[in-house]
Amino acid sequence: MASSQTNGQAAGQASTWTPSSWRSRPMKQQVVYEDEAAVAKASAKLQKVPPMVTPTEIWKLRRALADVAQGKAFLLQGGDCAELFDYCNDSAIDSKIKLLLQMSLVLIWGGNKPVVRIARMAGQYAKPRSSPMEKTADGREVPSFRGDILNGFPEDEREIDPERLVQAYFHSAATFNYVRAQIASGIADLHNPLDWHLGHVGDPEVQAKYKSIVESITESLRFMRTVGADTTGKLETVDLYTSHEGLLLEYEEALTRNLRHPINRDAPPKMAPAPAPKVSPLTGGALVDNTKQEPETTGYYNTSAHFLWVGDRTRQPDHAHIEYFRGIENPIGIKVGPTTSTEDLVQLLDIVNPNKEVGKVTLITRYGESKVNELLPQHIKAVSQTDHKVVWQCDPMHGNTRSTSTGIKTRSFHSVFSELSSALKIHKQCGSFLGGVHLELTGDAVTECTGGSQGLQDEDLGERYETFCDPRLNEKQALELAFLVAGSQRQG
């Protein structure tokens, strides 16, 4: 029986949700297509392609995030700011998988709890921009680069191309297919953690710290085997989920399917709408109907990724993106920044999670190191006064972006760790706990963020500044951050 959810929080009255009901709402970051027929053709194609993820996987993640919301696990989410179609190659994918696995190993050691891994990968192709146009070096105006799903980075590829919608699906599918194959082939086998070489990281201190952690885990595994407690089959693989910002709703709608709920679904069943009362042909009065209202057996799942989030620029309670997000079964994230009022925050939670399901919503805070101490306690208090049980996740990247004197966008490693460290302390002071971290990172030896043990300065950024959008932590900086967080957890 198809889902037909209602929620009156945004509009002041109940309204039926469908995958396309967002089209009746105002919208930020709207895309203007010149060829609507081409968009319709691409959407029709996407409506027929196989799902990339399944309801069973989605609910497995929801159950894991429920553990995070209750302090039983920690969430690590990371990947590129703007994923490119060109990143769909084995080298680029392997480097990101290995980095996330390495970081999770460090965090498991630090927090002594399971780590839920979500990659910003296999779909992070759309990016919000502050302006639809930008100026080139020679003073010309061209459309802004909005991600490979819409246009290309070269200036002669900036026209919006609907065919890229379909290309995005196939690049996502190929990427995730390779991720699945690598995990199934044992890339994450904890029996052989030393195979996770540190790649570009040559710093002896970082190498020594990681080696010490690996040796500690290896010794624990050896002990388990000795006493006959080896959990054969459970240490050779991990769960790695995919995620992206649900920005381009035409794409998300086309990949939203009404599917049967899996047996691992934990949420209380929603009831199907009551049928219209039957009328007596003799008296014209209503007949007594003893038919029981049946629970719904299907729901709407976004099959483009396990987890989607709505950005800081598109989270208006009465706008299109929140209208779309309120109807899907997937776990979702909401970016929370300096412009988020406590009233809006509570209203957003009521809209997207009216049944207050634990772990359904992740609040991704992104204030900047200078504002986190002022704003985070207010938001924690506002949520704590409701019945919502959310995952609190810190994004220490976006609020700390700055430009150098030559106009290059960068972030300071010190500022990133400062905001993250402050968030850990504030949650503890407020009787809450930080459930996860959300990072823009790459497994390559790029030079996009300053600081860290490498001591990168503004003048070093030109060595390997390769991002097509925002600056990312390189492998060394990302691992160093994981060590610092693990140290904070141990001191906790």
What SS3 class is residue 365? strand
81 annotated as belonging to a binding site for a ligand: yes
Cβ neighbours of residue 356 under 8 Å, at least 6 residues apart?
A: 386, 387, 388, 389
Is the Cβ–Cβ distance between 473 and 413 less than 8 Å? yes
398 annotated as belonging to a binding site for a ligand: yes
- Reading the block at residue 305, the tokens are 């990724």
Residue 477, CB-side half-sphere exposure with 13 Å CA sphere: 29
Backbone angles phi, psi at 57, to 5 degrees: -65, -40
120 annotated as belonging to a binding site for a ligand: yes
CB atoms within 10 A of CB 113: 14
475 annotated as belonging to a binding site for a ligand: no
**What is the rounded CA–CA span in Å between residue 390 and residue 408?**
36
Residue type, 154: P
335 annotated as belonging to a binding site for a ligand: yes
**What is the rounded CA–CA span in Å between residue 388 and residue 470?**
32
**What is the rounded CA–CA span in Å between residue 306 and residue 314?**
20
Q: Tell me which DSSP letter residue 227 carries.
A: T
Residue 181's H or E segment, with its range, is helix 163-184
- Reading the block at residue 177, the tokens are 């297919």
- With vertex at residue 19, the alpha carbon angle to CA 14 and CA 20, rounded to the nearest 5 degrees, is 85
Q: Beta 401-403 vs 391-394: how paired, if at all?
A: unpaired
Residue 112, CB-side half-sphere exposure with 13 Å CA sphere: 7
Backbone angles phi, psi at 245, to 5 degrees: -70, 125
**What is the rounded CA–CA span in Å between residue 317 and residue 308?**
17
Cβ neighbours of residue 224 under 8 Å, at least 6 residues apart?
A: 230, 231
Is the Cβ–Cβ distance between 255 and 302 less than 8 Å? yes
**What is the rounded CA–CA span in Å between residue 302 and residue 325?**
10
Bind-site residues for Mn(2+): 81, 398, 440, 470
Bind-site residues for phosphoenolpyruvate: 120, 335, 366
Bind-site residues: 81, 120, 335, 366, 398, 440, 470
